[in-house]
Amino acid sequence: MRTIPLRLAAALLLTPLLAGCFSDGSAGRGGARSEQRIRVALAVPPAQALSPYSNDATVLSKLSVVEGLTRLDADGTAKPALAASWKQTDGTTWTFQLRDARFQDGTKVTAEAVANALAHASDAEPAPRVLSDIQLTAKAQDAHTVVLTTGTVDPVLPLRLASPALGILSPKAYGSNGAVSPIGAGTGPFKITKLGGKTQATLDRFDGYWGGKAKAAGIDVSWIADGTARANALRGGSVDIAEWIPTSQAKLLAPGTLHEVPSTRTDSLLLNTGSGVFRDAAMRAAAREAVEPTALVDSVFGGYADAAQGLFGPAISWTRDKHVTVQHVVKAATAEQVKQQTGGTAITLATYTNRTELPEVASVLQQQLEKAGFTVKQDVREYSQMEADLLAGKYDALVFSRVTLLDTGDPVAYLASDYTSKGSYNITRLAEPAVDRAISAAAASSAGTRQDKVMAAEAAVLSTGAVVPLVHEKVLQGVSTDVEGVVLDPRERSLVGLDTRLK
């Protein structure tokens, strides 16, 4: 049985106060609601004006704004999207046949437009994570045929092309200065008509969508960073869908509105190996041994999580019996050695507020690390305010939540972007030749050996002490009982689709 954390009492006291922040949107399905618009509360405000080359890309995917050449089905297999079919002509060359489709600005989806979109993605600085370990070029062969080549053999290219970061936008989306705007430029069933900074967005149905007419007339998006406020918005009827319900709020939702989704999301403690205290492997080992992840499952997550097994959790079923024993060859510094090396200087432990549990996790870890001799100060903000500092290595440690199959559905892209020396999302600043070799071996492997190579690479990463896995989350999505057809996706790429509508 799941236990309800003590912090639930505080949440109950706050509920009537926060509920008053939202209007009672339950005023029937007549009047303003008869037009079948879906109201959605998302957690992480746009960091880069919904650029597909940032973490904002998942918003475009969740709201069915953009599409790639391919999509992933439930078992992670690449299926047709804007490409009706494809074939591999040699080890590094693939040919894709496009379907008849239009962009939301009315122009046709052509091979030239697809090649242009993929060229912009390849040239972006920094490159999208999904391209961090390959070189991709695209050329139009004729109006409906595009040829893609990779610098090295890449057996999972069709999976990569399903990444939200490689969504195809019309030529008008790309500015001369490298800026890219998806407003009115996608191919999905919903088009963005207005972006109100980091707080709101308006989407209307795109009736020219090749896959048919969406059942909802549009989507009204609010970004609400506070998890309790999102839950209250759902309870008060001012939104129809609220993503990422905090575990402290789960028991407070009305029956039938909470949906528990197995997730490929792992929460970890990341340590900066590029500068500061954690350049020393013995100090990283001391931090690793100080952390007790199992205490978090009930105390912070209310049972809606599993203790970490590694970087990859039980939602990725094939990993369960394949984890490789990690060899920790560096002896951990003692508490006295930690105190001597830090000299009383506090390490900065950062996290962000968009996932409500993370600040609580940081507080627990602060206590555990201080027992090991560290002096800890916290920096807790919204993710959009700290992403640049994270990538620049300005923190000693970070409590971080990551969907490990978000980019491709293949774990190698995540490992390459996050833990190789040239990775575009390498927050740990890890630069270990042995890790680079292990991940490269996984990237080059065929289907028959790929899983084993991935797990060997996982062990190589963990052996450095740069990352300490904590828990594998279960995502809690809040959906009004007046809504049907919400897409509950373990990869967290999808939310509102063609069939999402008010009953």
74 and 51 share a domain?
A: no
- Of 171, 201, 234, which residue is a domain's last? 171
Whether 221 shows a pLDDT value over 50: the answer reads yes
Q: Give the range among 70-84, 201-215, 469-483 with minimum mean pLDDT.
A: 70-84
Q: Give the range among 208-212, 266-270, 343-347 with minimum mean pLDDT.
A: 343-347
CATH number, position 107: 3.90.76.10
Q: Answer yes or no: is 332 within a domain.
A: yes
Whether 238 shows a pLDDT value over 90: the answer reads yes
DSSP state string for 358-410: HHHHHHHHHHHHHHTT--EEEEEE-HHHHHHHHHTT--SEEEEEEETTTTTSS
Whether 20 shows a pLDDT value over 60: the answer reads no
Q: Answer yes or no: is 298 within a domain.
A: yes
285 and 413 share a domain?
A: yes
The pLDDT of residue 29 is 41
430 and 320 share a domain?
A: yes
CATH number, position 340: 3.10.105.10
Binned at pLDDT 50, 70 and 90, residue 19 comes out as very low
267 and 357 share a domain?
A: yes
The 10s digit of each residue's pLDDT in 447-465 is: 789 999 999 999 999 999 9
162 and 225 share a domain?
A: no
305 and 392 share a domain?
A: yes
- Which own/partner contact pairs does 298-302 have at CB distance under 8 Å and 24+ positions apart? 298/2, 298/3, 298/5, 299/5, 299/364, 300/5, 300/247, 300/357, 300/360, 300/361, 300/364, 301/247, 301/357, 301/471, 301/473, 302/2, 302/3, 302/4, 302/5, 302/247, 302/248, 302/250, 302/251
Q: Give the range among 249-258, 273-282, 443-452, 466-475 with minimum mean pLDDT.
A: 443-452
- Of 146, 171, 196, which residue is a domain's last? 171
CATH number, position 222: 3.40.190.10
* Highest averaged pLDDT of the listed ranges 16-20, 23-27, 71-75: 71-75
124 and 228 share a domain?
A: no
3-state secondary structure of 70: strand
The pLDDT of residue 358 is 96
Number of independent structural domains in the chain: 3
Binned at pLDDT 50, 70 and 90, residue 424 comes out as confident
Q: Answer yes or no: is 286 within a domain.
A: yes
Q: List all residues 6 or more positions away from 482 whose beta carbon is below 8 Å from its beta carbon.
A: 29, 240, 502, 503
Q: Are 397 and 278 in contact (CB under 8 A)?
A: yes
The 10s digit of each residue's pLDDT in 110-155 is: 999 999 999 999 999 888 888 877 899 999 999 999 999 999 988 8
Whether 77 shows a pLDDT value over 90: the answer reads no
Q: Answer yes or no: is 20 within a domain.
A: no
The pLDDT of residue 409 is 79
Q: Answer yes or no: is 181 within a domain.
A: no
429 and 301 share a domain?
A: yes
Whether 36 shows a pLDDT value over 60: the answer reads yes
390 and 450 share a domain?
A: yes
The pLDDT of residue 168 is 98
Q: Answer yes or no: is 18 within a domain.
A: no
133 and 272 share a domain?
A: no
The pLDDT of residue 55 is 87
Q: Answer yes or no: is 11 within a domain.
A: no
Q: Which domain covers residue 374, as residue numbers? A: 263-473
Considering the entire predicted model, what is its pTM?
Answer: 0.77
Q: Answer yes or no: is 205 within a domain.
A: yes
The pLDDT of residue 33 is 53
The 10s digit of each residue's pLDDT in 291-347 is: 999 999 999 999 999 999 899 998 888 888 899 999 888 999 999 999 998 887 899
220 and 155 share a domain?
A: no
Whether 8 shows a pLDDT value over 70: the answer reads no
86 and 138 share a domain?
A: yes
Angstrom CA distances, 43 to 187, 222, 340, 357, 407, stand at 24, 9, 41, 13, 19
Instruction: Determine the average pLDDT of the residues in 252-274.
Output: 95
